[in-house]
Copies of this chain bind each other. A is one copy, B any other.
Amino acid sequence: MKKIAGGVCAAQGFKANGVHCGIRKNKTKRDLSLIVSDVRAAAACVYTQNLVKGAPILVTKKHVEDGYAQAIVCNSGNANTCNADGVEIAEGMCALVEKHTGIPAGDVVVASTGVIGQPLSLDPIAAGMDPLVKGLGENSDFAAQGIMTTDTVEKQIAYTFTLGGKECRIGAIGKGVGMINPNMATMLVFVTTDAAISPEMLQKALSMDVQDSFNMVSVDGDTSTNDMVCVLANGLAGNECVAAPGKDFMTFRKALHKVTSDLCRKIAKDGEGATKLLECKVSGAKSKKTARIVAKSVIKSSLFKAAMFGADANWGRVLCAIGYSGADLDVSKIGVAFKSRAGELIVCRGGSGVAFSEEEAKKILSEDVIDVLIDLGDGNGRATAWGCDLTYDYVKINGDYRT
């Protein structure tokens, strides 16, 4: 697999754009994005597990029920959630896409991110649709910007890979936890590929993948009402359609995971107020499930996250978070090490502390990418979770008055 440019436009037959239409007050911020495929594409989605769901999620679910879609429209600045007319507005966004592109509204995926509980007007979206559609092209960066909220950098990635002897491309844009007028954290990821794969296998690949990718990312433990990951596969690479498990399916899954895990890192690193990317790698667990539970418990611990902000080798907080994770394990077998570009340091072995140099620990933890390595010494289960440190700026961003 080779990294390439182009984001969601890297795959053949995909165009994108992003404009400022007026939902956000700041005119320098794009707030409406569109991704279209030249042809109808197999579509797969996963959504937030929150019982409170944004209206766009309800509409998208209906539109991809048949396994196909051809466009993705997404606004930032307003989550269109907890509004009485939410579904009507989300349907209206799809109808506007149909009016300007000819793609049937029923083939449009719709998403929103931003403030919840504030009515979303269709007016700015209607006004922005013309320049949005006219500007469709190799503009993955504009599309990536149009879905940002408090994200500080746009997030896109693309790779080439070979499937059934054909060169395929897969790319994505994403946004992490952030807010507009401080409100709701949302994670949105849109993936495009020209690989040919059936809707069933695409959904299967995505559903399996998120367990080891986006479900393993935590910035603050809050699950948004609007989270959505959507993959469109338009088949223009000309490979034999992946319609069953097997070698090609595994190749596709690998390519998908390369894209999703890259985005996980980007999203965690750009977490609200974050100064460090934290990767918690658990090995030696009784099962994969145990490994996931432990990795997520550690990456979510506020005490651990604050310690990492302070470059403090406070391994007791790691042990503590392992202990309350609810996972089935033997405390007396746990080993913990911290690792970064500056080196690796074992701090706990057999559940007890080992003497270490505080100076070396500080050097290792002062880097901006920190691995926490946990060996449960009890099997072959492995998992990785991504997160970030807890900083003054997280509190500042989330404590400010809405304005």
Q: How far is the CA of A402 from the CA of B361 in the complex (A)?
A: 12
> CB within 8 A of A221: which of B48, B224, B302, B397?
B302
- Complex contact B399–A322 (CB within 8 A): no
Q: Does A223 contact B (CB under 8 A)?
A: yes
- Across the interface, do A184 and B320 meet the contact criterion of CB distance under 8 Å? yes
In the bound complex, how far is the Cα of B321 from the Cα of A358, in angstroms? 39
Task: Determine if A101 is an interface residue (Cβ-Cβ < 8 Å).
Answer: no
B residues in contact with A379, CB < 8 Å: none
Q: Mark A42-74, 1 if CB is under 8 A from B, else 0.
A: 000000111111000000000000000000000
The distance in angstroms between the C-alpha atoms of A284 and B391, with both chains bound, is: 37
Task: Tell me whether A353 is interfacial, beta carbon within 8 Å.
Answer: yes
Contacts of A315 in B (CB 8 A): 117
- A394 interface residue, CB < 8 Å from B? yes
Kindly supply a per-residue 1/0 record for chain A positions 207-222, scoring 1 wherever the CB is within 8 Å of any chain B CB and 0 otherwise. Answer: 0000000000000111
Tell me if B51 and A316 are in contact (CB < 8 A): no
Chain B residues in 8 Å Cβ range of A392: 392, 395-396
Tell me the residues in window 329-348 of chain A with beta carbons closer than 8 Å to chain B beta carbons: 329, 331, 348
- A402 proximity list for chain B (CB < 8 A): 312, 314, 358
CB distance from A340 to the nearest CB of B (A): 17
Question: Taking CB as reference atom, which chain B residue is nearest A399?
Answer: B310
List A residues 190-229 near B (Cβ within 8 Å): 220-225
Contacts known (A306-B398, A309-B395, A399-B307); A222 close to B320, Cβ less than 8 A: yes
User: A162: which B residues are within 8 A, CB to CB?
Assistant: none
Say yes or no: A182 contacts B351, CB within 8 Å: no
State the copy count for this chain.
Answer: 2
A160 interface residue per 8 A CB criterion:
no
**Contact across chains for A52 and B353 when beta carbons are under 8 A apart:** no
Query: Which B residues are CB-close (under 8 A) to A397?
Result: 306
Beta-carbon contact of A51 and B329 below 8 Å = yes
A112-140 vs B: 1/0 string, CB under 8 Å?
Answer: 00011110000000000000000000000
Given A50-B324, A312-B399, A316-B115 in contact, is the A302-B222 Cβ separation under 8 Å?
yes
Residue A172 CB within 8 A of the other chain: no
Interface-centre pick from A48, A224, A225, A324 (highest chain B CB count, 10 A): A324
Contact of B52 with A314 in the complex, beta carbons under 8 Å: no
Report the separation of the CA atoms of residues A116 and B320 in the bound assembly, to the nearest whole angstrom.
10
Please tell me which one of the listed residues B84, B182, B321 contacts residue A222 in the complex, with CB atoms under 8 A apart: B321
How far does the Cβ of A317 sit from chain B's closest Cβ, in whole Å?
Answer: 7
Which B residues lie within 8 Å of A239 (CB)?
none
**Are A398 and B302 in contact, CB atoms less than 8 angstroms apart?**
yes
Given contacts A301-B222, A317-B183, A323-B52, contact A307 B116 (CB under 8 A): no
Question: Contact: B352 with A185, CB < 8 Å?
Answer: no
- Is the CB of A287 closer than 8 A to any CB of chain B? no
| A346: min CB distance to chain B, Å | 13
Provide the residues of chain B in CB contact with A82, threshold 8 Å. 316, 319, 348, 351-353
- Considering the complex, give the chain B residue whose CB is closest to the CB of A306: B398
> Given contacts A115-B316, A306-B399, A390-B399, could you give 7 more A-B pairs where the C-beta distance is less than 8 Å?
A52-B320, A117-B316, A182-B312, A221-B301, A221-B302, A312-B401, A314-B402
29 contacts between A and B (CB under 8 A): A48-B324, A49-B324, A50-B320, A51-B322, A51-B329, A51-B331, A52-B319, A53-B323, A82-B316, A82-B348, A82-B353, A83-B353, A116-B320, A118-B353, A182-B312, A183-B316, A220-B303, A222-B301, A222-B303, A223-B320, A223-B323, A302-B398, A307-B398, A310-B400, A310-B401, A311-B401, A358-B402, A390-B399, A391-B399
